[in-house]
Amino acid sequence: MDAICLSRVKSEVPMATDVYEKLAAHLDNLPSGFPRTEGGVEMRIIRRLFTPEDAELATHLTLIPEEPRVVARRAGIPVDEAARRLDEMDRKGLITARRRKGKPALYMARQFLPGFWEGQINRLDPDLVRDVHEYEPTFHNLDTWRKAPILRTIPVGRSIDVTNHIMAYEAAEQVVRSHKSFAVSNCICRQGMRLLDKPCKKPEESCLSFGAIAEYLSAGGRARKIDLEETLAILQRADEAGLVLQPANAKDPFFMCTCCGCCCGVLGAIKRHPKPASVVTTPFFASLDAQTCKGCGLCVKRCQMDALSLADKKAQLDADRCIGCGLCVSTCPTHSLSLVRKPESNQPDVPKDMVKSNIKRAQARGKLGTRELIALQLRSKLDRLLSR
């Protein structure tokens, strides 16, 4: 069966005289959304990145990979023009291409985040970074995140006790070893903060991608291709640097971010919530044995959620702020901290793959139902047939 298209039927996108309004509506009908703000910062973002011609063509793309002839028919332009413009937009990081040997490339829409924002890695300018920082609090709607997060949190390897029953998708090393291709790219969050003269001391080249996405990003110069050994070394370095591991919210993720609470937009939004544990997707929580704690304070420095503090020379744990990343556990010199598996009734439902994850998020936003899915699949098939 064809991949499921997750933008809505074209006729459902409100008509707009301004092509950027049309693009904003189109993006908002994708699973991750593109919510509007009173100040219009989201419009500044797309105007910075998309030319009017790019914006118009982008509204004809969905999350189904399609050949230029299909997009050309939908947009009403010649096939060779569509192929050239789609290729240019891919090189700008605005859309995604799947290149095939001896066959035309397939093109698909990119959502805002993760998507064409990350596509600007190594192409950032301070004004764009400021706009995205202004927009992120609106974009990261935690009510939607609680129902269908884009990312999930998994613990660093050294923090997991062998007595815990661990699923493969819950362990970073097992996620990595399930793939054969790897790449590492700069963290766009830390790169952006550096441009704003607020550099973070954490490693910048640290975000991992796997499989076809790793091949795609490295071929386009947005990532560096690496082997399994270096990938595992980056995971170890992330633990040492106190970075939270956040893969895509799927059992078979195609990327894994290594995040800090000072730069990461996602962790920042979660950190501002009074009870981060209630919105993050994680199978574990930390447990503290105060009797053995020596009050060294290392866990306080490493916690990205301010879940730990010192009082009377002892660590204090606020369970409502713990996201189960394990950073406090892996370096506790007295082994006073440990990770405990949540009860089965509180275990998060992790979608099988990114298609299922996108469907879940779209439905959580009230943007997609069964009838829309069927209509979108039929439309895509019809466009392919008519474009032959």
Q: What domains can be seen in the chain, in order of their start residue? A: 10-112+366-386 (1.10.10.10), 153-346 (3.30.70.20)
Q: What is the pLDDT of residue 1?
A: 38
The three-point CA angle 269-274-280 to 5° equals: 55
133 and 55 Cβ atoms separated by less than 8 Å: no
The predicted-structure confidence for 102-158, as pLDDT tens digits, reads as follows 999 999 999 999 999 999 999 999 999 999 999 999 999 888 888 888 999 998 866
Q: In the chain, count of helices (H) and strands (E)?
A: 16, 11
Determine which of 314-323, 338-347, 364-373 has the lowest per-residue pLDDT on average: 364-373
Kindly report the average pLDDT of the chain as a whole number: 88
CA distance 355 to 388: 27
Q: What is the pLDDT of residue 13?
A: 42
CA distance 324 to 302: 13
pTM above 0.95, yes or no: no
Q: What is the pLDDT of residue 142?
A: 85
Closest Cα to residue 34, out of 365, 276, 281? Answer: 365
Determine which of 51-65, 160-174, 198-212 has the lowest per-residue pLDDT on average: 160-174
Q: Which two tokens stand for residue 193?
A: 């903060």
Determine which of 133-142, 154-163, 276-285, 356-365 has the lowest per-residue pLDDT on average: 154-163
Q: Which two tokens stand for residue 176?
A: 């990595």
b/e per residue, 18-39, with b = 16+ CB within 10 A?
Answer: ebbbbbbbbbbbbbbbbbeeee
DSSP assignments along 232-254, one per residue: HHHHHHHHHHT-EEEEBSSSS-S
The three-point CA angle 188-92-46 to 5° equals: 75
One-letter amino acid at 116 equals: F
Is the peptide bond preceding residue 149 cis, with omega within 30 degrees of 0?
A: no
Q: What's the DSSP call for residue 9? A: P
The predicted-structure confidence for 214-231, as pLDDT tens digits, reads as follows 999 999 999 999 999 999
Q: Is the pLDDT of residue 57 over 80?
A: yes
